[in-house]
Amino acid sequence: MFSFSSSSSVSNYYSILLVFSIVATTLYESNAQLNTTFYSSTCPNVSTIVRNAVQQALNSDSRIGASLIRLHFHDCFVNGCDASLLLDNSGSIQSEKDAGPNANSTRGFDVVDNIKTAVENSCSGIVSCADILALAAEASVSLSGGPSWNVQLGRRDSLTANQGGANTSIPTPTEGLTNITSKFSAVGLNTNDLVALSGAHTFGRAQCRTFVNRLYNFNGTGNPDPSLNSTYLATLQQTCPQNGSGTTLTDLDPSTADNFDNNYFNNLQNNRGLLQSDQELFSTSGASTVSIVNNFITNQTAFFVSFAQSMINMGNISPLTGSNGEVRLDCKKVNGS
């Protein structure tokens, strides 16, 4: 492939190789700040502790798995996976919990506190709240019948929150595919990540207020969303009457509400996606998401593999590592406050 006519060319070749080597090493190290064995000597049982606590929570609350993975998702999209979402209001902090996408919506903070207590009892001051969110998300999926993956660890916790960022960066249920794709792209996630991670809506619930616009007055037309299956529309209108309670819950996946499987994608094909942001993955003419949805419909294994990889990708969004941030002793507040 290469030919050299002088010793200087050979020297230049090895200089280029050295540069490539340095670049490759730098890239590797930047991606290797997190690793799956981070706590192997300091808190070797952390994964088991988290998994047991999630299982205990699932025993009394079938929704909690979906709620916990949503916390990780909403955390990572704002300043990276740094547990900033968990911070309460204080003199210097405007909590992300009060941002539009989170207020009266995100839940499971008490379970995170319980997990943190259990971890602290075993390994005090070692495991970050950000890593607990990542581990709890994996446990929630695998305990509900979904894939398992080796969680990359080593994140540290933020010293502040970004309520404004939470208001603008987190994808919302009423956004179109173009906007949501842009929000994923802004944090380094691609279209395959978007479709795979949307598949987390295979379990959990949604409040009427997040989709009622589709039932009666879609985009100001005075009519329902034409992409909604008519039978499903009638069912949803019974659950969520016009001018009714916006907080009434309905299953994101009416077929297997608490199981992690690929039925979510079958629902989209049958025009039974609950949220606008879900259905647009399949119903947007010419969108690159359609073929990915079709693949996941016919191949649950492909969905599981993609979902696990996309969760790892999302978990790698701008983590605090090394001496940045801290390991909070209480996930709700910065140390010393």
Question: Contact 315/131 with Cβ under 8 angstroms?
Answer: no
The closest alpha carbon to 88, from 67, 106, 76, 73, belongs to: 106
Confirm whether residue 254 is marked as ligand binding: no
| Positive or negative torsion for Cα 137, 274, 187, 329 | negative
Confirm whether residue 202 is marked as ligand binding: yes
Over the range 76-88, which residues count as b (16 or more CB within 10 Å of their CB) and which as e?
bbbbbbbbbbbbe
Burial of 3 (0-12, 13-18, 19+ CB in 10 A): exposed
Confirm whether residue 253 is marked as ligand binding: yes
Confirm whether residue 330 is marked as ligand binding: no
Question: Contact 83/91 with Cβ under 8 angstroms?
Answer: no
Confirm whether residue 193 is marked as ligand binding: no
Confirm whether residue 80 is marked as ligand binding: yes
Q: Which two tokens stand for residue 196?
A: 């795979």
Q: Which two tokens stand for residue 90?
A: 């204080």
Confirm whether residue 235 is marked as ligand binding: no
Say how far apart CA 249 and CA 209 lie, in whole Å. Answer: 9
Confirm whether residue 171 is marked as ligand binding: yes
Confirm whether residue 21 is marked as ligand binding: no
Task: Give me the torsion for CA of 295, 272, 144, 32, rounded to 10°.
Answer: 50
Instruction: Single out the catalytic residue among 74, 272, 328, 332.
Output: 74
72 carries an active-site annotation: no
Match 């691609």 to its residue by tokens.
190
Judging by DSSP bridges, how do beta strands 249-251 and 205-207 pair with one another?
antiparallel
Q: Return the SS3 of 188.
A: coil
The closest alpha carbon to 162, from 72, 70, 75, belongs to: 75
Say how far apart CA 172 and CA 304 lie, in whole Å. Answer: 24
What value does the CA radius of gyration of the chain take, rounded to a whole number of Å?
A: 22
Say how far apart CA 17 and CA 21 lie, in whole Å. Answer: 6
Contacts for 167 with CB less than 8 Å, ≥ 6 apart? 99, 100, 101
Confirm whether residue 82 is marked as ligand binding: yes
Annotated binding site for Ca(2+): 75, 78, 80, 82, 84, 96, 202, 253, 256, 261
Q: Kindly list the catalytic residues.
A: 74
Q: Which residues carry a binding-site annotation for substrate?
A: 171
Binding residues: 75, 78, 80, 82, 84, 96, 171, 201-202, 253, 256, 261
